[in-house]
């Protein structure tokens, strides 16, 4: 499924049935200068103004306020303001690029710069597939989704909560989720954030998997956490930062802003507010540990004018993907934004139109880390099995697009014109035979045959073909190898923590 991008450039090696493909995308095309210099400066000025004049609330975490006071910020009660320049100065120690090691070193990902990494949907309580319909996710669903993600070559990273395992107590869920990624895949993944102890458990499990020494020197786990827009940072964020950044591990902080609700109803204001919130959190990570890897997150949604429901794949968030990309590069930190987003309930044309516009702008905009790149439905409430497969097939195409157009002598094919006269055809010529195999991206989920062959094969739409594919993939799945002692240590850790933790459903 990786198509041309997967071919030739990199030594192929199969592990189990895991994907053999480049571990991430190395972009070779320029960035799109969607907003001009004047607009970008205005956006940055507004972010600085918000930080200096309005300030952000930092709540429920005295330690966070202490850190801000000590750094010289203007702290009154829980309101933190900082003079123009101070936050940018603090952000400057965050690395513009860093590597997250995977347990299989061939799958380690480079985050930042011109590198782009795709991960599946995160956080949906529901799952849907064509056979069983929509229902709450379970740990069995999560394990299946981890296995599919492992096998899909254009997903470079596992994320974490591909669906919520709602049948496991909330207090213990993080242990099973982190283990699922560690055991059934060998791609990099995220850790938990919902409580400080859960973050600490995730870091502890990563330490077991990767070893104390490796972890001291490298980012081996990251976490993704949302601010409470507008301009509120609660302890879920600051404690996660203290745990992950404190251990020199990566953290993504994401303002999720539904325009008109968690931010003003205009796109420029929402982008600037998101920048202000993310910059403050970036600065906070650098106060906790200078040089700790940070990813600037962004998630803007527009609104249905009929009902106020969030809408996805619409022109306002699409343009914000380009613009936040420009702003993140000016700030010099890696960016997470966008995804294959949709409000559709099923993997129909609406889902695909919205997801494609959202995701193509995400990749062209230069997002370095893309959560929700596959499987997202229903505004993030539901993980679609078929949608995961269909989205991932398009990701392979984006990978080719980002690699640009070859312009070497072979690409210009002058020998073909010596062989083929005007009005002739190139089907059998030497240049075609020499290049045919890797000429075009092979989208395995697209049916491009004529209507007669399509009907003969049952006139199956894309959703039906995707259903058949993921079922087959799960039958073909083989687990990647793991060191038995490490696996035992992980299971011991989980068993101990499960004994210590009471069952809780919140």
188/259 with CB nearer its own copies: 259
Tokens of 350: 């609406």
**Exposed / middle / buried, residue 403 (Cβ in 10 Å: 0-12, 13-18, 19+):** middle
11/414 with CB nearer its own copies: 414
**494: how many CB neighbours lie within 10 A of its CB?**
19
Question: CB of residue 115 vs its own copies: minimum separation in angstroms?
Answer: 18
Question: CB of residue 239 vs its own copies: minimum separation in angstroms?
Answer: 18
33/211 with CB nearer its own copies: 33
Question: CB of residue 378 vs its own copies: minimum separation in angstroms?
Answer: 6
> Rounded CA gap, 307 and 329, in Å?
36
Q: What is the chain's Cα-based Rg?
A: 23
**211: how many CB neighbours lie within 10 A of its CB?**
13
Q: 42 to each of 215, 268, 269, how far by Cα in Å? A: 40, 9, 10
What residues have CB less than 8 Å from 250, skipping those under 6 apart?
98, 100, 111, 219, 221, 222, 223, 244, 292, 293, 294, 295
238/302 with CB nearer its own copies: 302
> Rounded CA gap, 414 and 111, in Å?
39
413/494 with CB nearer its own copies: 413
Question: CB of residue 128 vs its own copies: minimum separation in angstroms?
Answer: 9
Contact 394, 357 (CB under 8 A): no
> Rounded CA gap, 375 and 379, in Å?
11
8/211 with CB nearer its own copies: 8
> Rounded CA gap, 155 and 393, in Å?
10
196/416 with CB nearer its own copies: 416
Question: Under the phi-then-psi rule, with left for phi > 0, alpha for psi from -120 to 50, and beta for the rest, what region is 77?
Answer: left
Question: CB of residue 451 vs its own copies: minimum separation in angstroms?
Answer: 5
**Cross-strand partners of 129:** 133
Contact 191, 160 (CB under 8 A): yes
204/319 with CB nearer its own copies: 319
Question: CB of residue 262 vs its own copies: minimum separation in angstroms?
Answer: 7
150/312 with CB nearer its own copies: 312
Question: CB of residue 165 vs its own copies: minimum separation in angstroms?
Answer: 20
**247: how many CB neighbours lie within 10 A of its CB?**
22
37/484 with CB nearer its own copies: 37
Q: 147 to each of 138, 158, 355, 417, how far by Cα in Å? A: 14, 10, 23, 47
Question: CB of residue 374 vs its own copies: minimum separation in angstroms?
Answer: 12
Question: CB of residue 234 vs its own copies: minimum separation in angstroms?
Answer: 9
423/475 with CB nearer its own copies: 423
Work out whether strand 109-112 and strand 97-100 pair parallel, antiparallel, or are unpaired: antiparallel
What residues have CB less than 8 Å from 447, skipping those under 6 apart?
454, 460, 462, 465
Contact 383, 119 (CB under 8 A): no
Question: CB of residue 138 vs its own copies: minimum separation in angstroms?
Answer: 19
Contact 178, 202 (CB under 8 A): yes
> Rounded CA gap, 192 and 202, in Å?
6
> Rounded CA gap, 347 and 388, in Å?
9
Question: CB of residue 217 vs its own copies: minimum separation in angstroms?
Answer: 37
Q: Among 392, 397, 373, which residue's Cα sits nearest to residue 4?
A: 397
308/481 with CB nearer its own copies: 308
Question: CB of residue 20 vs its own copies: minimum separation in angstroms?
Answer: 18
58/179 with CB nearer its own copies: 58
Question: CB of residue 502 vs its own copies: minimum separation in angstroms?
Answer: 31
Q: Does the N-terminal peptide bond of residue 230 adopt cis geometry, omega within 30 degrees of 0?
A: yes
The whole-angstrom distance between residue 88's C-alpha and the CA centroid of its chain comes to 25
């Amino acid at each position: 499924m990786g198509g041309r991008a997967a071919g030739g450039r990199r030594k192929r090696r199969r592990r189990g049935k895991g994907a053999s493909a480049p571990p991430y995308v190395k972009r070779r095309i320029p960035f799109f200068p969607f907003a001009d210099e004047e607009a970008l400066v205005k956006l940055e000025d507004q972010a600085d103004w918000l930080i200096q004049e309005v300030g952000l609330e930092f709540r429920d975490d005295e330690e966070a306020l202490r850190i801000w006071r000590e750094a010289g910020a203007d702290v009154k009660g829980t309101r933190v303001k900082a003079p123009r320049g101070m936050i940018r100065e603090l952000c400057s120690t965050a690395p513009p690029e860093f590597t997250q090691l995977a347990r299989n070193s061939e799958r380690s990902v480079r985050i930042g710069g011109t590198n782009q990494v795709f991960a599946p949907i995160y956080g949906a309580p529901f799952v849907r597939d064509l056979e069983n319909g929509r229902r709450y996710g379970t740990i069995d669903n999560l394990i299946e989704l981890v296995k599919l993600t492992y096998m899909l070559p254009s997903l470079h990273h596992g994320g974490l909560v591909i669906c919520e395992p709602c049948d496991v107590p909330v207090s213990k869920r993080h242990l099973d989720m982190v283990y699922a990624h560690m055991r059934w895949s060998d791609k990099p993944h995220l850790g938990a954030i919902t409580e400080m102890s859960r973050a600490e458990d995730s870091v502890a499990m990563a330490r077991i998997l990767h070893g104390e020494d490796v972890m001291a020197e490298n980012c081996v786990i990251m976490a993704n956490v949302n601010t409470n827009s507008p301009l509120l940072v609660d302890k879920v964020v600051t404690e996660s930062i203290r745990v992950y950044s404190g251990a020199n591990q990566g953290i993504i902080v994401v303002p999720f802003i539904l325009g008109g609700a968690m931010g003003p109803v205009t796109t420029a204001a929402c982008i600037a507010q998101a920048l202000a919130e993310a910059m403050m959190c970036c600065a906070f990570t650098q106060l906790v540990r200078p040089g700790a890897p940070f990813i600037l997150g962004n998630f803007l949604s527009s609104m249905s004018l009929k009902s106020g429901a969030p809408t996805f794949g619409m022109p306002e968030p699409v343009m914000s993907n380009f613009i936040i990309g420009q702003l993140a590069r000016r700030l010099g930190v890696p960016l997470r934004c966008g995804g294959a987003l949709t409000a559709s309930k099923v993997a129909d044309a609406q889902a695909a139109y919205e997801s494609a516009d959202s995701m193509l702008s995400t990749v062209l905009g230069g997002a370095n880390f893309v959560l929700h790149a596959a499987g997202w439905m229903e505004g993030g409430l539901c993980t679609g099995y078929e949608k995961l497969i269909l989205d991932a097939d398009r990701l392979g195409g984006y990978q080719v697009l980002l690699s640009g157009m070859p312009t070497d002598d072979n690409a210009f094919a002058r020998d073909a014109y010596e062989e083929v006269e005007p009005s002739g055809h190139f089907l059998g010529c030497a240049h075609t035979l020499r290049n045919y195999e890797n000429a075009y991206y092979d989208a395995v989920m697209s049916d491009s045959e004529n209507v007669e062959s399509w009907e003969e094969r049952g006139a199956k739409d894309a959703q039906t073909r995707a259903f058949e594919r993921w079922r087959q993939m799960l039958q073909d799945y083989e687990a990647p190898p793991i060191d038995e002692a490490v696996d035992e240590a992980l299971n011991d850790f989980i068993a101990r923590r499960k004994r210590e933790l009471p069952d809780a459903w919140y």
